[in-house]
């Protein structure tokens, strides 16, 4: 793997990060007051990163066990949480409250300083939080939002065998039983389920209703009897994805989110969390660390002493990728700004998802080509990195995660055509 880029320290004249307020257990945590001016905020975040991003985290997380990975992730989350940088997109009363401009700067600086990703907390702080804030009850928010800040881990229980891209075809059932629901079925591709405390679960409560109208949305305690989690060994050698088997699992009725049989609408809020700032973060990481690894690989002498960057074709391809990445970053910034202003189009999120996923795949493919046969021997990557670690073969294999889940590229193109361009809908088969 390429050497880790050195973090740039902050100048002595830059403003220091604010001191965190002491958290109150079980209560909302107000975020410290960071500078509102974008330039001052950038300097303060850069200063904080210079003193807190672990210098050797990539080396320590390469080959880390599941326990070491989880411990590192929880510690890093709490470091960010204590100074109000973990959930900037949440409302201020729950520990967030940053402006869109501040959030953009934050993710740019974290990417530029090669900070670890919040892999383990991702579903909790984005999907679970957005669902609870939009559709949850007051009690559900009071129970779970402070717990997420304290380290509660969530998994998404949506996809099933035969119900991935066509999510509405799910077959897991939830039958009303007294003061709860008895759930049976199987979930697939549940990222990080082995670490999860709670699950966002979709199950069919009305088998006779049209498939999108008979689904309900639940909060499932993963310690409930009848749950079995099985890790799935992937081509990369890791077991990030899991299966979840549900055998007569009883969920209290109080854990129903939104009205019964209206879970499909609630799920759109969850899926919407993959848009906007989450995509901007990924684009910034690809543009900073990912492209930096690629440029360094092109500048490194090969077996015969010749550097790939001396080849005009390599220069052209590298310049083309840099141009595309610059366009992606601008597109993501535009999306989050228009989302905040309430001006997002029906296909905008699909455009960003399609663009990012296929550009990520092309970038990693080029990295594999540049690394040559020697790159095939790098079979470990830092557990807390993204899809731009510099372990090119693993990154390329992992990049396929983005062109399939959350709606395949084919589905994204259909959404763009029908909802964005107003083209006729595809004819339905028998």
Residues tagged active-site = 274
For the packed helices 312-340 and 100-112, what is the interaxial angle rounded to 10 degrees? 150
Closest CA to 190 of 122, 89, 253: 122
Q: Measuring CA to CA, how many Å separate 302 from each of 4, 245, 292?
A: 20, 49, 18
Backbone phi, then psi, for 204, in 5-degree steps? -85, 120
What angle, 0 to 180 degrees and rounded to 10, lies between the N-to-C axes of helices 312-340 and 348-375?
A: 150
- In order of 119, 161, 307, 397, 420, the CA distances from 195 in angstroms are 11, 22, 43, 23, 38
In Å, how far from its chain's centre is CA 410? 21
Radius of gyration (C-alpha) of the chain in whole angstroms = 22
C-alpha 387: how far from its chain's center?
11
Long-range contacts of 51-56 (CB under 8 A, 24+ apart): 52/79, 53/7, 53/113, 53/114, 53/115, 53/116, 54/116, 55/7, 56/4
Which of these, 181, 294, 155, lies nearest to 248 by C-alpha position? Answer: 181
Spatial distance between the Cα atoms of 159 and 422, rounded to a whole number of angstroms: 28
Locate 427 and state its tokens.
Answer: 């004819």
CA nearest neighbour of 99 among 20, 29, 31: 31
Around Cβ 311, how many Cβ atoms within 10 Å? Answer: 13
User: Measured between alpha carbons, how far is 407 from 166 in angstroms, rounded to an integer?
Assistant: 8
E strand spans, 2-88: none
Question: What tokens were used for 56?
Answer: 């050797």
Cα 388 to its chain centre, rounded Å, is: 14
Rounded Cα–Cα distance for residues 292 and 112 (Å): 10
A 10 A CB-CB count for 99 gives: 13
Scan for tokens 């740039």, then name that residue.
8
């Amino acid at each position: 793997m390429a050497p880790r880029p050195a973090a740039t320290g902050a100048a002595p004249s830059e403003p220091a990060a604010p001191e965190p307020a002491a958290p109150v257990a079980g209560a909302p945590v107000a975020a410290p007051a960071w500078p509102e001016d974008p330039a001052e905020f950038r300097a303060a975040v850069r200063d904080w990163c210079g003193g807190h991003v672990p210098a050797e985290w990539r080396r320590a997380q390469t080959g880390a066990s599941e326990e070491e990975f989880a411990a590192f992730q929880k510690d890093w989350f709490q470091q960010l949480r204590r100074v109000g940088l973990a959930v900037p997109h949440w409302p201020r009363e729950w520990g967030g409250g940053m402006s869109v401009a501040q959030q953009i700067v934050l993710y740019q600086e974290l990417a530029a300083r090669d900070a670890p990703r919040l892999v383990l907390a991702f579903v909790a702080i984005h999907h679970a939080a957005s669902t609870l804030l939009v559709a949850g009850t007051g009690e559900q928010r009071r129970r779970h939002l402070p717990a997420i800040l304290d380290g509660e881990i969530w998994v998404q229980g949506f996809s099933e065998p035969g119900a991935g891209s066509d999510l509405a075809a799910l077959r897991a059932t939830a039958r009303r039983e007294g003061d709860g629901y008895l759930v049976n079925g199987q979930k697939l591709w549940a990222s990080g389920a082995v670490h999860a405390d709670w699950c966002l679960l979709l199950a069919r409560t009305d088998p006779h209703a049209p498939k999108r109208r008979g689904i309900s949305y639940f909060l499932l305690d993963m310690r409930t009897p009848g749950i079995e989690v099985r890790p799935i060994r992937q081509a990369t050698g890791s077991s990030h994805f899991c299966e979840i088997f549900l055998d007569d699992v009883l969920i209290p009725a109080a854990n129903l989110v939104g009205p019964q049989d209206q879970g499909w609408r609630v799920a759109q809020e969850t899926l919407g969390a993959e848009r906007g700032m989450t995509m901007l973060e990924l684009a910034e990481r690809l543009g900073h660390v990912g492209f930096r690894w690629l440029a360094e690989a092109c500048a490194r002498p090969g077996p015969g002493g010749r550097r790939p960057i001396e080849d005009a074709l390599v220069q052209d391809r590298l310049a083309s990728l840099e141009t595309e990445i610059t366009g992606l970053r601008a597109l993501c910034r535009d999306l989050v700004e228009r989302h905040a202003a309430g001006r997002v189009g029906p296909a905008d999120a699909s455009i960003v998802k399609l663009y990012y996923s296929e550009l990520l795949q092309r970038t990693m493919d080029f990295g594999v080509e540049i690394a040559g046969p020697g790159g095939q021997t790098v079979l470990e990557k830092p557990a807390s990195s993204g899809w731009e670690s510099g372990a090119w073969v693993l990154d390329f294999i992992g990049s396929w995660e983005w062109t399939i889940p959350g709606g395949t590229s084919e589905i994204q193109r259909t959404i763009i055509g029908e909802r964005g361009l107003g083209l006729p809908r595809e004819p339905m088969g028998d």
